[in-house]
Amino acid sequence: MKEELIIAGFGGQGVLSMGKILAYSGIMQDKEVTWMPSYGPEMRGGTANVTVILSDKKIGSPILSKCDTAIILNQQSMDKFEGMVKPGGLLIYDPNGITRHPERKDINICSIEAAEESARIGNLKAFNMIVLGAFLKKKPVVSMESVVKGLKKSLPERHHHLIPMNEQAIKIGMDKVVDTNVL
Amino acid sequence: MAEKILMKGNEAIAHGAIRCGADGYFGYPITPQSEVMETLMEEKPWETTGMVVLQAESETSSINMVYGGASTGKKVMTSSSSLGISLMAEGLSYLAGAELPCVVVNVMRGGPGLGTIQPSQADYFQAVKGGGHGDYKMIVLAPASAQDMYDFVGKGFDLAFKYRNPVMILSDGVIGQMMEKVELGEMKPRRTSEEVAQQCPWALTGKHSGRNRNIITSLALDPNVQEKTNQRLQAKYAEIEKNEVICQTYRTEDAEHLFVAYGSMSRICEAVVDQAREAGYKVGLLRPVTLYPYPTANIQALVPQLKSIMAVEMSAGQMVEDVRLAVEGKVPVNFYGRMGGMIPSPDDIFEAFVKSINK
């Protein structure tokens, strides 16, 4: 098993931490992982992206030419990363704020209204976990149990009371993800 | 087996320092290596091992604090990035001249000048060929993973004390910022004052009637004395070259073409080797782990089976010069590099490779 994904959006959307939770969940299942962020001004409101690789074997390059999955959360990232998905791969996006929807016909495409759902439950910070839920529904590369363990590892102890809320958000994402192009 | 923790390469440096029994860290923040001191400050090793962690007022101060600490036989280190290392260049030369052990980490970013905060490998010449003035060498280790970052701190101190010589860990923004699994080794206690005095008879540990005065200096006004110092240094470097070369190879057994790359680029080239093999090219990779001493003989040993070599660096072509020196024109040496903080993708390198062998 090897899953190479790129998560991209605005700084502040929780892109990097979503990748970190996924990476930690992989470690809980004894997988090899790499998490390579864009760093620098992105963290202060521009675009941010992270490359996460989960694999049963030792990982060579942490930098990708093509990815299995792209999770895209703003227009700039759509323009940059839609073309990087391998044919037959998966693109997940939140249509909120997207002016040009993905056009490729050779990949699976799903949408998740994560911004809307997070507003509906009154917790905008749950946004990234809703997106993670959508991804895990489509590609269950790690179990829910591992994700909860991963959350425990990546969150400081003072935030552990938020884990059930995060779990709930992941489940919402799993329920609300919609296929828009199926191969 | 010890627990595996997800951490950045920079954090791994901090944990490596604490757990190998380092006595002191002196540094000044700079992207992309600020997490080294941040992690040390969070871990508060002064409360557990007694290790000193101090933010100096500049890189110049940091390196001179290292000089002071090292003079007393303590395991001391600093870290910075590219332009910060330039500020330390004078101190590095003094440390080498006074034969003081220390570990200096450079998490390289793009230059010259203030440049960019994105990753680069353009400080190879500075690390391997000098940087400071005078005929001196640092032992230079090139980590390619977060685990290497952790391991090389302890290894670096071992080499530094074995040869009484500065050791540089030459990393880059990719390895510093990337998170990977790291297995933390056992906690080694810091050396006691008695152990330091016994293991470092040259150190300034306080003169007593049992021994003559120790002098730590890089100054010798008499050229006869200075030449002897230089001869002693050169003899030491020859020993280092004989004993301490480390390199790794990947799929070289039947390789007709060879990539030579270090640090983050060796990781990317590993993927390119697999990609090229799938496309039918017999390709392998040699990764120098020590950049000084350079694995010259290891490259030479592969030359008879090779049709071409390609060095890949995030620079305009620095290490490639050492590859060319090693092969002495016996096989074509090509180069592919990106500069200024751009990271080549596996496809970029593969394309350049195919072009280079069909030209």
| pLDDT above 80 for A42 | no
Strand A2-10 and strand A47-55: pairing? antiparallel
Tell if the CB–CB gap between A61 and B32 is shorter than 8 Å.
Answer: no
**Quick one: average pLDDT of B343-356?**
96
Model confidence pLDDT, tens digit, residues A110-161 = 999 999 999 999 999 999 999 999 999 999 999 999 999 989 888 889 989 9
**Nearest partner of A19 among B179, B12, B342, judged by Cα:** B179
Contact A63 B118 (CB under 8 A): no
What confidence tens digit (pLDDT) does each residue in B29-38 have? 999 999 999 9
Which phi and psi angles does A37 have, rounded to 5°?
-90, 160
Domains of chain B: 4-194 (3.40.50.970), 247-358 (3.40.50.920)
Q: Which DSSP symbol is given to B3?
A: P
Q: How far apart are alpha carbons B8 and B222 in whole angstroms?
A: 48
Peptide bond into B112 cis (omega under 30): yes
Q: What is the pLDDT of residue B231?
A: 97
Q: Which of A27, A33, A39 sits opposite B177 (nearest CB)?
A: A39
Pairing of the two strands B290-292 and B139-141? antiparallel
B352 Cβ under 8 Å from any chain A Cβ = no
| pLDDT-based confidence at residue B207 (cuts at 50, 70, 90) | confident
Give the position of tokens 């110049």.
B60
The helix or strand, by DSSP H or E, that contains position B97, with its residue range, turns out to be helix B83-97
CB contact (8 A) between residue B268 and residue A63:
yes
Note whether B177 contacts A32, CB cutoff 8 Å: no
Q: What is the pLDDT of residues B80-104, one digit of tens each?
A: 999 999 999 999 999 999 999 999 9
In eight-state DSSP terms, residue A8 is E
> Which amino acid is located at A164 in the chain?
P
State yes or no: pLDDT of B1 exceeds 70: no
**What is the CATH topology of the domain spanning A2-181?**
Pyruvate-ferredoxin Oxidoreductase; domain 3 (3.40.920)
> What is the rounded distance in angstroms from the CA atom of residue B164 to the CA atom of residue B180?
32
Give the pair of three-digit tokens for residue B128: 């391997």
Chain A residues in contact with B178 by the CB 8 A cut-off are 34-37, 62
Q: Are B357 and B257 spatial neighbours (Cβ–Cβ below 8 Å)?
A: yes
Query: Which residue among A23, A32, A60 places its CB closest to the CB of B271?
Result: A60
- pLDDT at residue A155, rounded to an integer: 84
Tokens of B279: 């496309």
Is A60 close to B345, i.e. CB distance below 8 A? no
Q: Which of residues 7-36 of A touch B (CB under 8 A)?
A: 20, 23-24, 27, 32-36
The whole-number average pLDDT for the span B253-275 is 97
- pLDDT confidence of A107, banded at 50, 70, 90? very high
Question: Within 13 A of B80's CA, how many CA atoms are on the CB side?
Answer: 26
Of all residues in chain A, what percent carry a pLDDT higher than 90? Answer: 83
Looking at residue B258, what is its pLDDT?
98
Q: Chain B residues with CB inside 8 Å of A36's CB?
A: 174, 177-179
DSSP secondary structure code for residue A89 in this structure: E
Q: Choose among B303, B273, B285, B291: nearest CA to B248.
A: B285
Chain B residues in contact with A32 by the CB 8 A cut-off are 181
Tokens of B220: 């010798």
Rounded-to-integer distance, Cα B9 and Cα B330, Å: 38
Q: Cα–Cα distance between A25 and A33 in angstroms, integer?
A: 10
Nearest CA in chain A to B119: A39
A17, pLDDT greater than 60? yes
Task: State the ipTM, two decimals.
Answer: 0.91
Alpha-carbon span A178 to B3, nearest angstrom: 38
How many beta carbons lie within 10 A of that of residue A139, not counting itself? 16
Least Cα distance to B106 among B145, B147, B68, B78 occurs for B78
Question: Over the stretch B283-340, which tens digit does the pLDDT of each residue have?
Answer: 999 999 999 999 999 999 999 999 999 999 999 999 999 999 999 999 999 999 999 9
Residues in A closer than 8 angstroms to B173, CB to CB, are 39
Q: Is B342 exposed, middle or buried (0-12, 13-18, 19+ CB in 10 A)?
A: middle
User: Global pTM?
Assistant: 0.95
Q: What amino acid is encoded at B104 in this protein?
A: V
CB contact under 8 A, A65 and B346: yes
